[in-house]
Amino acid sequence: QAQAIILGIETSCDETAAAIVVRDQSGRGTIRSNVVRSQLDEHAAFGGVVPELAARAHVEWLDHIIAQAIQEAGIELCEIDAVAATAGPGLIGGVLVGLTTAKALAASLDKPLIGVNHLEGHALTARLTNGVAFPYLMLLVSGGHSQFVLVRGVGDYERWGGTIDDALGEAFDKVAKLLSLGHPGGPALEHTARLGDPKRFKFPRPLLREDRLDFSFSGLKTAVRLQAEALAPLSDQDVADIAASFQDTVAHIVGYRARQALERFSTLFPTEPIRLVVAGGVAANRRIAETLETPCHEFGAELIVPPIALCTDNGAMIAWAGAERLALGSSDSLAIAARPRWPL
Ligand code: KG4
Ligand code: ZN
């Protein structure tokens, strides 16, 4: 395998991102640049991501972000060996902006195009950052997804359960919103929870009794809302106690499911090292990360949390997924379609 220089483009949600990643002959990846422009300011007033505004901001910024990624990597556009872009799942307007740009670049440079599944980007990031070998278990917890995925190889994934309603990050955001903590709510809620009593409220743990690897957070969110309404007007201490109790509840749920998933992994691969990789923005939550340490310790599993900037949406993860596919001789036609929904 020759060395390959890959441009990666990510526009499926509210970050406009581009990166240059180099994959060397031995299969190791190096991030040469990783530029992310978050659209937080555009959406702040709306308490969530507005798809049309997101698409327009991607149109406005993507060219600059790509130019910056190339400049920071110290290369020329013509040195790129392939162009990778998120082709889904995500907000379709944004995905179209990134994918169409990637097609234009690939066509004009006469280089391969790789349409990357955004989830595959998250799934393979730990190989870029930590050189993790297959197979491993991934827990993806972001604003749009909450799922366990068995990663057997490039393109070989098995979903082991996921959320049947809200994603975990979404639950954090909604609870933060009803506590008036702002958007995105996850970091604000974690911060507030530090001052609270996690034992003050007992919130429900939906689905936990059932023997499946799925999550459900919508009933929990409703219970939190009812509690907040019952106490209104809320003192600062009430808000902190609700935040802490909510966070403790979801940490318990995630830890419990992780134990089940690790058990399943160890039964399936009795002779393989056990590895749990965490991806998605919620991986930044200290309480959640700590909760995963106990079951990992129990199973002698290695817990891998990539640097948080690579757990959240970025171009390097898309470039790397493209590099991994390209190394296996796989690329896409310029006719590849953007897909709003695209399970792994
Ligand atoms: O992966 P990500 O950047 O974007 C998606 O692809 O969704 O994840 C963003 C999500 C948001 O819901 C945000 O509130 C949540 O991750 N998040 C957190 C924390 N930091 C980010 N949730 C809980 N605690 C945090 N510290
Ligand atoms: Zn993501």
In a domain, 341, yes or no: no
Q: What is the pTM of this model?
A: 0.95
Give the structural domain span for 106.
Answer: 4-130+310-327
Same domain, 250 and 204: yes
Same domain, 148 and 272: yes
* DSSP class of 47: T
Distance of alpha carbon 220 from alpha carbon 174, whole angstroms: 11
In this prediction the ipTM stands at: 0.98
> Which residue among 312, 317, 318 has the greatest number of ligand 1 atoms within 8 angstroms of its CB, and so is best to mutate?
312
Same domain, 241 and 201: yes
Closest ligand 1 atom, residue 287 Cα = 24
Same domain, 241 and 270: yes
Same domain, 143 and 175: yes
236 is known to lie in a ligand binding site: no
Burial of 300 (0-12, 13-18, 19+ CB in 10 A): exposed
Q: What type of residue sits at position 254?
A: V
In a domain, 344, yes or no: no
Q: How far is CA 172 from CA 57, 253, 277, in A?
A: 25, 14, 21
Looking at residue 1, what is its pLDDT?
A: 73
Same domain, 120 and 151: no
Q: Residue 183 is encoded by which pair of tokens? A: 């958007």
Phi, psi of 304 (to 5 degrees): -115, 115
In a domain, 332, yes or no: no
Distance of alpha carbon 259 from alpha carbon 67, whole angstroms: 44
Closest ligand 1 atom, residue 122 Cα = 1
Same domain, 75 and 50: yes
Model confidence at 47: pLDDT above 80:
no
In a domain, 116, yes or no: yes
267 CA distance to ligand 1 middle (Å): 31
Same domain, 267 and 148: yes
Model confidence at 216: pLDDT above 80:
yes
Q: Is residue 142 in contact with ligand 1, taking CB distance under 6 Å?
A: yes
Percent of the chain past pLDDT 70, that is, above it, reads: 100
> Which residue among 49, 282, 292, 305 has the greatest number of ligand 1 atoms within 8 angstroms of its CB, and so is best to mutate?
282
List the 302-304 sheet strands across, edge first.
156-162, 146-153, 136-141, 275-279, 302-304
Going by pLDDT thresholds of 50, 70 and 90, the confidence category of residue 199 is: very high
How many separate domains does the chain show?
2
Contact status, residue 279 vs residue 308, Cβ threshold 8 Å? no
CATH at residue 183: 3.30.420.40
> Which residue among 142, 163, 191, 305 has the greatest number of ligand 1 atoms within 8 angstroms of its CB, and so is best to mutate?
142
Looking at residue 213, what is its pLDDT?
A: 96
pLDDT tens-digit readout, 137-182: 999 999 989 999 999 999 999 999 999 999 999 999 999 999 999 8
Same domain, 122 and 144: no
Same domain, 280 and 316: no
Looking at residue 109, what is its pLDDT?
A: 98
pLDDT tens-digit readout, 277-322: 999 999 999 999 999 999 999 999 999 999 999 999 999 999 999 9
H-helix or E-strand containing 29? strand 29-38
Q: What angle do CA 99, 130, 300 make, to 5 degrees?
A: 125
Mean pLDDT confidence for 104-124: 98
Beta-ladder partners of 159: 149
Distance of alpha carbon 327 from alpha carbon 344, whole angstroms: 20
Going by pLDDT thresholds of 50, 70 and 90, the confidence category of residue 40 is: confident
H-helix or E-strand containing 136? strand 136-141
Same domain, 123 and 208: no
18 CA distance to ligand 2 middle (Å): 14
Going by pLDDT thresholds of 50, 70 and 90, the confidence category of residue 45 is: confident
Same domain, 101 and 143: no
pLDDT tens-digit readout, 83-93: 999 999 999 99
Q: Is residue 89 in contact with ligand 1, taking CB distance under 6 Å?
A: no
